[in-house]
């Protein structure tokens, strides 16, 4: 009798194990910026492959890097690429897989200038350095003939929380202004020379919406969704470019010939004529040598899908898809995952 019962129990146990084995759970954590797109990808992909389930925690790029390094998740996600030291700290070879691109727009609130304020990059840097302090400064006025700029002090608003948006924006400022590069530098949190700190895109946007004569920066998607006014910037090749999905993708297309094999490349200030200057990749981070081969196989399948069907979902959600040429490169990289 006892034997029978134990055999039955064993059979039950095995049944559960096989059932659980039928569905692979893949855990990820990291950047908040691509989270809306990733969750759309995961839910769409679940319809195609019912045997895999993704679980993604949007805890921020820093957290994503920490967790993938500690191997507590199967993949990480980050808006900034890892430094050589950080890569060395990881227990295996980490791959950067670029998924989409984001852009940062300069938004402002000046009564009478509903849209289309023109700023060249040197002026943007000087405003955030606290060197251009009035809206009617000659340097701004020269680029905006016929616009009635008020004689008011500029109030700078920046992100107070560490974020990829700040990282891309300060990378851009470091590229266009050597004083910024030396005094402030680039990073997710920096020591701002002037201005007020708002928490999150919503904090910065809220501050700018409710306060006149402010200037700040937010993600492109956030600015578009909330219909915030944005500045047209002068890019490295000297042409005026409005931020858009198209000009964002153009920045990556311009960078293809310098694209390193590990995709660790900053996309700001690309020299192409139609490239918007404040652009960055967002990456997935995963180990080339997957410990769990089933998970590894599923990840490869998913990533390949994300390079085809996944890319088509990006633009409607205001993310810039990878240009064709980069997509092909990434696909080859994905194939090396074992």
Q: Which residues here bind another protein, judged by CB under 8 A?
A: 59-63, 65-66, 80, 86, 153, 155, 160-164, 184-192, 195-199, 203, 206-207, 210-211
Which CB, 186 or 234, lies closer to another protein? 186
Q: How many CB atoms lie within 10 A of CB 301?
A: 15
Which CB, 176 or 241, lies closer to another protein? 176
Distance of CA 288 to the CA centre of its chain: 22
Which CB, 33 or 230, lies closer to another protein? 33
Cα distance between the two ends of the chain:
48
Half-sphere exposure of 60 (CA within 13 A, CB side): 13
Min separation Cβ 158 and another protein, Å: 9
Min separation Cβ 154 and another protein, Å: 11
Which CB, 26 or 31, lies closer to another protein? 31
CA distance 76 to 94: 10
Which CB, 31 or 322, lies closer to another protein? 31
Which CB, 232 or 266, lies closer to another protein? 266
Kind and range of the H or E element at 185? Answer: none
Min separation Cβ 197 and another protein, Å: 3
- Residue 146, classified by CB atoms within 10 Å of its CB into exposed (0-12), middle (13-18) or buried (19+), is exposed
| Helix, strand, coil distribution of the chain in percent, nearest 5 | 45, 20, 35
Min separation Cβ 194 and another protein, Å: 9
Min separation Cβ 302 and another protein, Å: 26
Min separation Cβ 7 and another protein, Å: 41
Answer yes or no: are the C-beta atoms of 108 and 216 closer than 8 Å: yes
Sign of the CA dihedral 123, 104, 81, 163? positive
């Amino acid at each position: 009798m006892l034997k029978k019962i134990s055999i039955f129990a064993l059979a039950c146990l095995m049944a559960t194990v096989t059932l659980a084995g039928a569905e692979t759970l893949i855990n990820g954590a990291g950047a908040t910026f691509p989270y809306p797109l990733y969750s759309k990808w995961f839910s769409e992909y679940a319809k195609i492959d019912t045997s895999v389930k993704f679980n993604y925690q949007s805890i921020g790029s820093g957290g994503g890097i920490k967790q993938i390094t500690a191997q507590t998740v199967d993949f990480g996600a980050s808006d900034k690429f890892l430094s050589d030291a950080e890569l060395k700290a990881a227990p295996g070879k980490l791959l950067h897989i670029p998924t989409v691109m984001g852009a940062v727009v300069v938004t402002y609130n000046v009564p009478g200038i509903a849209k289309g304020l023109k700023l060249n990059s040197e002026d943007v840097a000087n405003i955030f350095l606290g060197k251009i302090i009035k809206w009617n400064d000659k340097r701004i006025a020269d680029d905006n003939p016929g616009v009635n700029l008020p004689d008011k002090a500029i109030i700078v608003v920046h992100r107070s929380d560490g974020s990829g948006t700040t990282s891309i924006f300060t990378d851009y400022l470091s590229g266009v202004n050597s004083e910024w590069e030396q005094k402030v530098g680039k990073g997710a949190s920096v020591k701002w020379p002037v201005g007020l700190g708002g928490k999150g895109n919503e904090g910065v946007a809220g501050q700018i919406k409710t306060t006149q004569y402010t200037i700040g920066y937010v993600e492109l998607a956030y600015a578009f969704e909330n219909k915030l006014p944005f500045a047209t910037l002068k890019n490295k090749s000297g042409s005026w470019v409005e931020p858009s999905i198209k000009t964002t993708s153009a920045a990556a297309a311009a960078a293809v010939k310098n694209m390193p094999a590990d995709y660790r490349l900053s996309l700001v200030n690309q020299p192409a004529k139609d490239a918007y200057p404040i652009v960055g990749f967002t990456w997935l981070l995963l180990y080339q040598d997957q410990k769990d081969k089933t998970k590894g196989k599923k990840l490869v399948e998913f990533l390949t899908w994300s390079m085809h069907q996944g890319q088509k979902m990006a633009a409607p959600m205001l993310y810039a898809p990878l240009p064709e040429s980069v997509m092909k490169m990434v696909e080859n990289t994905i194939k090396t995952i074992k």
